[in-house]
Amino acid sequence: MQRKLIVEFTKMNGAGNDFIVIDNRFFNFSDDELADFARRFCPRRVGIGADGVLAFSSPADAAHHYRMRYVNANGSVGTMCGNGARCLARFARNAGILDEELHFESDAGVYRARVGPAPEAPVRLFVPPPGTWIPDHPLAAALPGGVAAVHYLWTGTEHAVCFVDEVMGAPVQTWGPAIRHDPALAPAGANVDFVQVLQKGRASAPAELRVRTFEKGVEEETLACGTGAMAAALVARFLGRIGADDVQVHMPGGVLHVGFRRNGGVVSDLYLEGPAVTVFRGTVEV
């Protein structure tokens, strides 16, 4: 009988957005193997339970510290996960990479992160400027009754941002899949962010948003979404719904901080900051 492989993992979360983290420098799992691992162990109740799998891998370029590979719970590859990237930076620090600033590769490009010395210190992820921006993106199907428009922005992955009057009462499990699978967003689809403005903010005071996100690849609402927090903050600023470049984003699992500079239509110095917590470590047989 063939012996099973014992795989060590770390369970982490960023504001409730949770991940199974594997040191893939040792295991060298292929993309197909990582996809199988995610489909097997991410389901809750019958697996470890997570929104996705983070593979901590050796970089292609020796000038960088590591490579991040993110696989959604359904086995699909995600180009970027903001909370996952922050958790993986904490994992890298715990693995002995002690440089003040970490540079890592991802499918969305090269990113930077800064990890505080204390285990409870927030992790800041420095993010390249956003990509494709389409305000009032037309959809093939009619919009839900409580959504006036859908605004598309790429912040490492695809996002459809929808402003609502009362986000906690929004039927995210109904509206989210309908917009996420709309043919006009094919083939990639989009995460769908439902956003309520709490405080408009100004130059001397941060804005505040409340956001709930339906994530593709997980195919349900998650407790937080880092790229969604950035998309919500940027779109709110682009449309004049907030008046500050410093934004506190309240999500069901916690608060994320988004900061940036905006000069006309150009965004620079974009970052995402928040908690990145180790929950437990364990092993599984594969």
Q: Is residue 50 predicted with pLDDT exceeding 80?
A: yes
Q: Where are the beta strands (DSSP E) in the chain?
A: 6-14, 17-23, 52-57, 66-72, 77-78, 101-106, 109-115, 123-127, 133-134, 151-154, 158-163, 191-199, 207-215, 220-222, 246-251, 254-263, 266-274, 277-285
The gap from C-alpha 107 to its chain's centroid, in whole angstroms, comes to 13
Q: Give start-end residues of each CATH 3.10.310.10 domain in the chain.
A: 6-129+275-285, 133-268
Q: Round to whole Å and give the CA distance between 252 and 51.
A: 15
Task: Measure the CA–CA gap between 133 and 230, rounded to whole angstroms.
Answer: 13
**6-129+275-285: which CATH architecture?**
Roll (3.10)
Find the mean pLDDT for residues 45-51.
97
Superfamily of chain region 133-268:
Diaminopimelate Epimerase; Chain A, domain 1 (3.10.310.10)
List residues with catalytic annotation: 81, 225
Q: Phi/psi zone of residue 240: left (φ > 0), alpha (ψ -120 to 50 degrees), beta? A: left
pLDDT above 90 covers a percentage of the chain that reads 94
* 59-79: pLDDT as tens digits: 999 999 999 999 999 999 999
Give pLDDT, residue 149. 98
pLDDT of residue 1: 59
pLDDT computed for residue 204 by the predictor:
84
Residues 6+ apart with CB under 8 A from 273: 86, 122, 123, 124, 125, 256, 257, 258, 259
Q: What is the pLDDT of residue 154?
A: 98
Q: No. of H helices and E strands in the chain?
A: 5, 18
Q: Evaluate if residue 99 carries a pLDDT over 80.
A: yes
pLDDT band at 263 (very low <50, low <70, confident <90, very high): confident
What are the structure tokens assigned to 188, written together?
């990639």
Which CA distances in Å does 82 have to 5, 256, 273? 30, 10, 9
Which pLDDT value is given to residue 54? 98
Give the pLDDT confidence of 1-47 residue by residue, as tens digits. 577 899 999 999 999 999 999 999 999 999 999 999 999 999 999 99
Question: Model confidence over 118-157: pLDDT tens digits?
Answer: 888 999 999 999 999 999 999 999 999 899 999 999 999 9
Q: Which two tokens stand for residue 273?
A: 């900051």
**Please, what is the average pLDDT of the chain?**
96
Distance of CA 235 to the CA centre of its chain: 16
